[in-house]
Amino acid sequence: MTVLEEAREISNEIIAWRRELHKIPEIGLVLPQTAAFVQARLEEMGIAYTTFERHSGIVALLGPNPGKTIALRADMDGLRINEESEFEYRSQNSNMHACGHDAHTAILLGVAKLLKRHEAALNGQVKLLFQPAEEGPGGALPMIEDGVLENPKVDAILALHMDRKIHPFPCKNGDVIVKYGNSSAADDQVDITIIGKSGHGSEPHRCIDPIVVSSLVVTAIQHIISREISPFSPCVISFGTITGGQGAENIIPNTVVLHGTIRNQDLEVREFVFRRIEEIVKYITKAMRADYQLTYLNGYPPTKNDPAMVDGFLASARQILPAADIHVSEEDSMGGEDAGFFYQKVPGCFFRLYSAAPFTDGEIYPAHSSRFVLDDSVLYRGTALFLQNIFDQLRVTVVK
């Protein structure tokens, strides 16, 4: 049986796991129900695992023979979104798996099940990393700090994400997309508080108006993109929330708070943007007699693919999928992904599996939408792609 056939044989089980996880989405670093589900499946499979005190990460280790160690990572967390679907397996709480991390977890459980069968034939070890909090505050870094890349030391890493983007090439569900270079952007959050002096709206000269100052700040910051960064270096700064005042039209508030996201592909550009945002905030507030506080939070580095790992992954993919189902993309993504922390430490390949499906109104909605729907009939392909690459890297000769 080929690896693809083996994975297809357990497709229904992978789908069932995904749907069970879909019912119980949890957010952040502590995911009690999700972790209990994963642990129960690993126990059924007879696979040993490690857990951690400060987060719900799980590390399972397979392979009794010495050799290289390859890590596979799946994120397990959902989002604070109320799901709109009427599926029987829709979310049973006020969170939602609207990014497909339920699918990632189920795919990795599929790998665990099949790897266990072939464990004795592995010339090396496989570490399965089930990770919380990808959507924030980030679970990869605490797992690295807890030593998941050591004992045994991880030599290579693979991870995947479900995909539904519109690409310049035609894509069907089950297709695989991989990119040389960065697979995701650096993703940082900036929180700025503009501190003014409140008072009556009819007497602005006796106040320091933080609303006006924040308007100048937001406008000036956009000039970093248009006037200071090369047009060939992708960079985005978006403010998603501005909060100031309490609903009155005639009160100048004390403070205005801005929450923004900063995305870029290049670490030097990233540092430059951090510096320039702070300079702009500092000097505009000074010029306007206001004050400020500024913090950068939740920074994720870009997920940088290793060229040799991408070569190897493509060679594995070509063994099990038709050439038309495999796409090498040159598109930059401004999406963030905390797998970037693992990829800073270990050469890796991050790939995408196409799995778009329409909501009941017939439209395909993006990730993070309350109407996000995923075609889980193709998840077995993710399992097969991981598995084939493991077998190729660990030179398993006997796969029956």
- Provide the binding-site residues for Zn ion, judged by CB under 5 A: 99
Nearest to 2 by CA among 379, 376, 325, 317: 317
86 is catalytic: no
Full DSSP string of 43-74: HHHT--EEE-SSS--EEEEE-SS-SEEEEEEE
Q: Identify which of residues 101 and 127 has a Cβ nearer to Zn ion in the complex.
A: 101
Full DSSP string of 298-311: EEE--EEPPHHHHH
Element (H, E) at 190: strand 186-195
Q: What backbone torsions phi and psi does residue 286 show, to the nearest 5 degrees?
A: -65, -45
Cβ atoms of 382 and 301 closer than 8 Å: no
Q: Identify which of residues 99 and 387 has a Cβ nearer to Zn ion in the complex.
A: 99
Q: Identify which of residues 74 and 390 has a Cβ nearer to Zn ion in the complex.
A: 74
Q: Identify which of residues 19 and 68 has a Cβ nearer to Zn ion in the complex.
A: 19
Q: Identify which of residues 105 and 329 has a Cβ nearer to Zn ion in the complex.
A: 105
Residue nearest to Zn ion (CB): 99
Angle separating helix axes 210-223 and 267-287, nearest 10 degrees = 150
Cβ atoms of 307 and 180 closer than 8 Å: yes
CB within 8 A of 283, min separation 6: which ones?
A: none
Element (H, E) at 126: strand 124-131
CB of 99 to Zn ion, least distance (A): 3
The structure tokens 């044989």 sit at 9
Q: Is 399 exposed, middle or buried (0-12, 13-18, 19+ CB in 10 A)?
A: middle
Cβ atoms of 44 and 370 closer than 8 Å: no
Q: Identify which of residues 124 and 132 has a Cβ nearer to Zn ion in the complex.
A: 132
228 is catalytic: no
Pairing of strands 235-244, 255-264: antiparallel
Q: Identify which of residues 79 and 154 has a Cβ nearer to Zn ion in the complex.
A: 79
How many CB atoms within 10 Å of residue 363? 10
- Determine the length of the chain: 400
Nearest to 4 by CA among 297, 361, 318: 318
CB of 262 to Zn ion, least distance (A): 17
Dihedral sign computed on CA atoms, order 199, 202, 208, 210: positive
Tokens of 101: 């991390």
- From 6, 26, 75, 77, active-site residue: 77
- From 6, 75, 102, 134, active-site residue: 134
Q: Mind telling me the catalytic residues?
A: 77, 134
